Amino acid sequence: MGKSTWAPVRVLPDTGCLSQDRGRNNEKGRILMKRTGTGLLLSRRSHVPPAGLLAWRALGVVSVLFVAVLVTWGRATPSDAGACRHSARHYEGGAAGKGRDPLLEQQWGLRRINATAAWEKGATGKGAVIAILDSGIDLGHPDLRARLVPGIDLTSDSDCPGPQDESGHGTLVAGVAAATADNGIGIAGVAPQARLMPVRVLTELEGGSPDEIRNTNRTFAKGIKWAADHGADVINISSTLMVATDYPLEDDGLQDALAYAWDKGTVVVAAAGNNLLPICDYPANDAHVLCVGATDALGLPAVYSNQPTNSNSRIGLRAPGGRLGTTCEDSVDIWTTSLPGYCGGINGYTTTQGTSFASPHVAGVAALLAAKGVTNDEIVACLVETALNPLTGLRGQFDPIYGYGEVDALAAVETCA
């Protein structure tokens, strides 16, 4: 199959994550809203408490406002690595070994997309690389460190140089995509033998004025190109940068970077957004990006999720993202890796929800195919063709609510790998 010529783009913004650290010793979050000439611009990673989300929905303003609660994940003693707060020594016990992952039975998302069945067919992602463009990854996490390849820090955080995650979001995302399986601890990722490339493009808070947004977009553009140049088969972006109708910003380089990655053979997957909009936020709305909305454990559209409608390519899917549970052990949400801290007596794991965590489910499935030598245009076509609409039972048929359907790892592997 030859290279696709997806049309150039015009776009929309997202809040990839509704997650909250509900069972650990956190610093208090802050609600941040800044209105500018181009609309309401916020943190790239929105963490919205369920009560807050329902209140905005009741007021009928969710489609024009989105709220970001900045959460610092799992306060820990400063490590020896400069001023970085998190390191491997904060994980007491729980050393990786062999055996069934204790939280695997609670990972309903893996079952919904038939990931474990795909592993039984020999599709584990071995040899593929997933770049996580985010706040970094916890380099010492026992369920992630064996998966890491060299990454890069493109932020200006001189207190903690390198791609070490200091806010927690990237670590949550990375675990969903490719946490190690069968090591006797924690969870398993969708592609448990894929490699993870930490590309740190965010720190604690991004957003504000148009100039600040433009600078952040430029950082993402650099990260996208760097990942594509350094062997990423899949790039996951669980962040949203602008409302699509406000994009593009002049000279931020983001569209060119996404087209560059596609031309290099990389699949880019991004969160649709948590604003209840009928369209994907940006960059998920770019013509070279696969947009992912969220479903709950029943396969129904998550109450917070944007619809996975990419107005440029029409390429959109859904995947498990959780349902807004109320505790850190709530089974309706997504279990994943976290910075050090306890949830139900388990150090370094928590539940979370948002399109931020739907996206790496799809990125993981893309890595299963990439590891088998499937090209980027073939991967996108395959994911679309094999996606299942759980309400109609149809595969690969577009509708504005489900996009082309919920991603199906087993069907994709059996059809295309």
Pick from 228, 233, 120, 242: nearest CA to 181: 120
Amino acid 7 reads A
> What is the spatial distance between Cα 357 and Cα 238, in angstroms, rounded to a whole number?
7
Helix (H) or strand (E) holding 69: strand 68-70
**Residue found by looking up tokens 């479903």 in the block:** 295
Helix (H) or strand (E) holding 117: helix 115-120
> What is the spatial distance between Cα 26 and Cα 321, in angstroms, rounded to a whole number?
23
Helix, coil or strand: residue 173: helix
Q: Facing residues of 92 across strands?
A: none
> What is the spatial distance between Cα 28 and Cα 21, in angstroms, rounded to a whole number?
10
> What is the spatial distance between Cα 357 and Cα 347, in angstroms, rounded to a whole number?
20
Helix (H) or strand (E) holding 34: strand 34-36
Please give the structure tokens belonging to residue 411.
């069907």
> What is the spatial distance between Cα 409 and Cα 414, in angstroms, rounded to a whole number?
9
Q: What is the CA radius of gyration of the chain?
A: 19
> What is the spatial distance between Cα 119 and Cα 193, in angstroms, rounded to a whole number?
10
Catalytic residues: 134, 169, 356
**What are the b/e assignments for 64-89, b being 16+ CB within 10 Å?**
eebbbbbbbbbebeebebeebbbbee
CA 381 to chain centre: 21
For 246, residues 6+ apart whose C-beta sits below 8 A from its C-beta are 12, 13, 38, 39
Please give the structure tokens belonging to residue 13.
């913004």
User: Cis bond leading into 400, ω under 30°?
Assistant: no
